[in-house]
Chain A
């Protein structure tokens, strides 16, 4: 199974490896969600959805369905 942002535990960090460009809003890429960047799970709402992330210094929340599309590598 591929490891994605949706699998992060609170406080855990990873490096973005790959993302499914066609399905991810461009806005998310523009906010710094790009391969090679650092991502940390700050907080989750109940049912782990949405997820509150710190990507490359940008704080933002995305829905779980989007988080599942972003592959990461734990550090």
Chain B
């Protein structure tokens, strides 16, 4: 029996659909994208009784078949296309026992497509506490289907669901609601024009902007054999459809559902009174943020230090164990540090996704969106942009991924485009060393000037993000429906399994996706820095040694390294761009550090360390070296207040992160946006740095 049963999991958001998916498939799942769009495609394999298997597709959450986002389009496009590889043999609609009325709306629509449809009533463990009792017999009879009463949390009812999936052929495909009762005359004409099609499918094709086999909306509208309706008439009909469906559902639930309100205790009301309070709500949100920041900075520093030192010793070990030569160098100086550069991000990303999925699973995230929407709207963002902007202070990569939660494409795109302005942790080492060099360690009105500068840089990041969002909002002409309806789900204790799977999947996506690019860049950088043309590079040792005889012996090796770097390909590149960076107050060495920073900003300090031939990474020594550098054009110290500020501003604004560009490409599915980000942000950074230096010098 090679044939698998194709199952589509469908349901409203917040019904625990993903929990059901996780229970059915376990870790036997994979996350990808639908071709051409960034909507996440989750699929998995479920073992059924009697050795059969089901292919389970977890479709994006949707409230109805009237699509209003890309995610929802995926659902109807699949359900209308019988030829799709994933077209379901059986649809499983997941509903939440507490929101059965609303959830059944979608169920009746799916049922009307004449696909065998199973109804899952999830969160059955809450029934007693909420005083809910169901008459499954009546519901099954009226809905003409089979019902599985499931608790994904307690893992009950899953086996029964598998049994139902196995026997899907026994489920009736009779529709719940005959579309023609909406407007008998109109549907009569439709039936005459297209005698062989299901009326409800035709209705969906008329009202939705999707393709349906070879019949599409336009060919239907152009057909003269029946008169189409105006958009507003269609919408009135859709309203009528919704009312009719609710009438059917109300009648059904009157018999099949009993709620004893006396036994219902509502945690929601009490929690919402505090968490969405116009003062306390913000105070609590601020404290939650503080805790998350603390955790991301402090907790992840231990594993990050460990990863850092492990990769350093691995690199050392490889160098010692393998025969000397370019291949060993490539592995020990190029590939291993490159891999380390990927792995070192894992703790921060995992922690961030851990907290984000806790906030989402518990239902708190909707409250934050509610609190922040009004403020963010002024800048062309949505309440939902808060999460990415906050995450951006750790790392822009997971932040860009977190923007997926924003349904409105324009608001999501703007969020993705402005997130790299927030001060990510990779900018921190650069800021720290430059501030130590050019800002005096004095206090001003009781505040330490250096600390104040750092805080200003953080505020500058947020401010620039908001202002550029405001500008983008004015410029971008993207039509996307700008409604704002957000469900405020019940508070729930997060399920360990869901959180764990989410963290693992998101982290894996980062390591495999962005990781490839970081690795490639670090190999290229290594090659450019390790090879150079001509005698200057290849005979560096002899040249430096001969010059060095007079001097003491101590720094010979480091000087050779510095000389080699100056004449390597990257050194030549640095010299080449020197004219461009001189007006900003930099020399060719900073130029190189900036160029290599385009792989990742934190490379800056390391690059300067090598160039200034300081063997160790210790900041104090680099600092002293940097302080002693002389400006080749103007004379005097290279790092002055003017050039320091110029450099700080450059790093605050420039788009110097290949991994972020890669993830933006992945999330927007186009090179257009990352390239625009790179060009505009870097040009802006250059301009600001230029003005700052020229004014201050």
Contacts of A62 in B (CB 8 A): 484-485
Contacts known (A34-B246, A50-B373); A58 close to B232, Cβ less than 8 A: no
Q: Is the interface of B mostly helix, strand, loop or mixed?
A: helix
Interface flag for A61 (CB, 8 Å) = yes
In the bound complex, CA of A21 to CA of B238 (Å): 10
A27 lies within 8 A of B236 (CB): no
State whether the Cβ of B127 lies closer than 8 Å to any Cβ in chain A.
no
Give the docked Cα–Cα distance between A41 and B182 (Å). 32
Knowing A50-B374, A56-B101 touch, does A31 contact B63 (C-beta < 8 A)? Answer: yes
B527 within 8 A of A: no
Taking a contact as CB atoms under 8 Å apart, the answer to whether A34 and B242 are in contact is yes
Q: A32 to B106: give the CA distance in the assembly, Å.
A: 12
Stretch at the interface among B198-206, B312-320, B486-494, B538-546: B486-494
Question: How many residues of A are in contact with the other chain, CB < 8 A?
Answer: 30
Interface residues of B in 229-274 (CB under 8 A from A): 232, 235-236, 238-239, 242-243, 246, 268-269, 272-273
Find A31's partner among B268, B273, B370, B487 (CB 8 Å cutoff). Answer: B487
- In the assembled complex, 11 residue pairs joining A and B whose CB atoms fall closer than 8 Å, in A order, are A21-B232, A26-B68, A30-B102, A34-B242, A50-B374, A50-B383, A52-B370, A56-B101, A60-B488, A61-B369, A66-B484
B101 / chain A contacts, CB cutoff of 8 Å: 32, 56-57
A66 to B64, CA, bound (A): 20
Interface of A is mostly: mixed
Whole-angstrom CA separation of A66 from B483 in the bound complex? 8
Name the contact of B102 in the complex, choosing from A25, A49, A58, A63 (C-beta under 8 A). Answer: A58
Given A30-B242, A31-B485, A57-B102, the answer on whether A21 and B235 have CB atoms closer than 8 Å is yes
A56 partner residues in chain B, CB cutoff 8 A: 101
Q: Roughly how many angstroms separate A51 CA and B66 CA in the complex, as a whole number?
A: 24
Interface residues of B in 348-371 (CB under 8 A from A): 366, 369-371
Additional A-B contacts beyond A21-B232, A22-B232 (19; CB < 8 A): A21-B236, A25-B485, A26-B64, A26-B239, A27-B63, A27-B64, A27-B66, A29-B238, A30-B63, A30-B66, A43-B276, A45-B370, A52-B276, A52-B488, A58-B102, A60-B488, A62-B484, A63-B373, A63-B484
Nearest Cβ distance between residue B390 and chain A, in whole angstroms? Answer: 18
CB pair B68 A58 closer than 8 Å: no
Quick one: closest A residue to B242, CB to CB?
A29
B593: Cβ under 8 A from any A Cβ: no
Contact, CB under 8 Å: A59 / B489 = yes
Listed residue (A27, A34, A47) with the most chain B CB atoms within 10 angstroms of its CB = A27
Residues of A within 8 Å of B64, CB to CB, are: 26-27, 30
For chain B, give the interface size range: 35 or more
A42 at interface by CB-CB < 8 Å: yes
- How far is B273's CA from A49's CA once the two chains are assembled, in angstroms? 16
Task: Judge whether B272 and A52 touch: CB under 8 Å.
Answer: yes
- Given A21-B232, A57-B99, A46 contacting B278 (CB threshold 8 A): yes
Within 8 A of A (CB), among B252-306: 268-269, 272-273, 276-278
Shortest distance from the beta carbon of B200 to any chain A beta carbon, whole Å: 16
Complex contact A25–B99 (CB within 8 A): no
CA distance A45 to B368 in the complex (A): 10
**Partner pick for A22 among B99, B235, B273, B481, CB 8 A cutoff:** B235
Contacts of A66 in B (CB 8 A): 483-485
- For the complex of A and B, the 7 pairs showing the least CB-CB separation, nearest first, are A25-B483, A59-B488, A30-B64, A43-B276, A61-B370, A63-B484, A46-B278
Contacts of B377 in A (CB 8 A): 63
Please indicate the chain A residues that have their CB under 8 angstroms from the CB of B66 in the complex: 26-27, 30
User: B481 — which chain A residues lie within 8 A by C-beta?
Assistant: 25
* Chain A hits for B374, CB < 8 A: 45-47, 49-50
A57 to B130, CA, bound (A): 13
Q: CB-CB < 8 A to B105: which residues of A?
A: 30
Contact with A along B87-106 (1 / 0, CB 8 A): 00000000000010110010
A66 nearest CB across to chain B (Å): 7
- Which residues 15-46 of A sit at the B interface, judged by CB distance below 8 A? 21-22, 25-32, 34-35, 42-46
Chain B residue with minimal CB distance to A26?
Answer: B66
Report yes or no: B102 in contact with A32, Cβ–Cβ below 8 A: yes
Contact B246 A32 (CB under 8 A): yes
A34–B236 CA distance with the chains assembled, in angstroms: 12
**Chain B hits for A59, CB < 8 A:** 268, 487-490
Q: Which residues of B contact A47 (CB under 8 A)?
A: 374
Contact call A27/B246, Cβ cutoff below 8 A = no
Task: Determine if B483 and A45 form an interchain contact, defined as CB atoms under 8 angstroms apart.
Answer: no
Of all chain A residues, the one with the shortest Cβ separation from B489 is: A59
- Which residues of A are found within 8 Å of B485, using beta-carbon distances? 25, 27-28, 31, 60-62, 66
Bound state CA distance, A63 and B377, in angstroms? 11
Q: Specify which chain B residues have a CB less than 8 angstroms from the CB of A29 in the assembled complex.
A: 238-239, 242
A57 CA / B102 CA spacing, docked (Å): 9
Contacts of B373 in A (CB 8 A): 45, 49-50, 61, 63
Instruction: Give the contacts of B57-97 with A (CB-CB under 8 A).
Output: 63-64, 66, 68
Are B238 and A26 in contact, CB atoms less than 8 angstroms apart? Answer: yes
* Given A22-B235, A26-B238, A60 contacting B99 (CB threshold 8 A): no
Given contacts A28-B485, A66-B484, contact A42 B272 (CB under 8 A): yes
Cβ contacts under 8 Å, B243 to chain A: 34-35
* Residues of chain B contacted by A32 (CB below 8 angstroms): 101-102, 246
A46 / chain B contacts, CB cutoff of 8 Å: 278, 374
Residue of A nearest to B490 (CB): A59
CA distance A52 to B243 in the complex (A): 23
Question: Which residue of B has the minimal Cβ distance to A60?
Answer: B487
Candidate in A22, A56, A60, A62 with the most chain B CB atoms within 10 angstroms: A60
Chain A residue numbers with a CB within 8 Å of B272 are: 42-43, 52
Q: Return B199 CB to nearest CB of chain A, in Å.
A: 19
Give the distance in Å from the alpha carbon of A58 to the alpha carbon of B490 in the complex.
10
- The distance in angstroms between the C-alpha atoms of A27 and B371, with both chains bound, is 21
Q: How far is the CA of A60 from the CA of B485 in the complex (A)?
A: 7
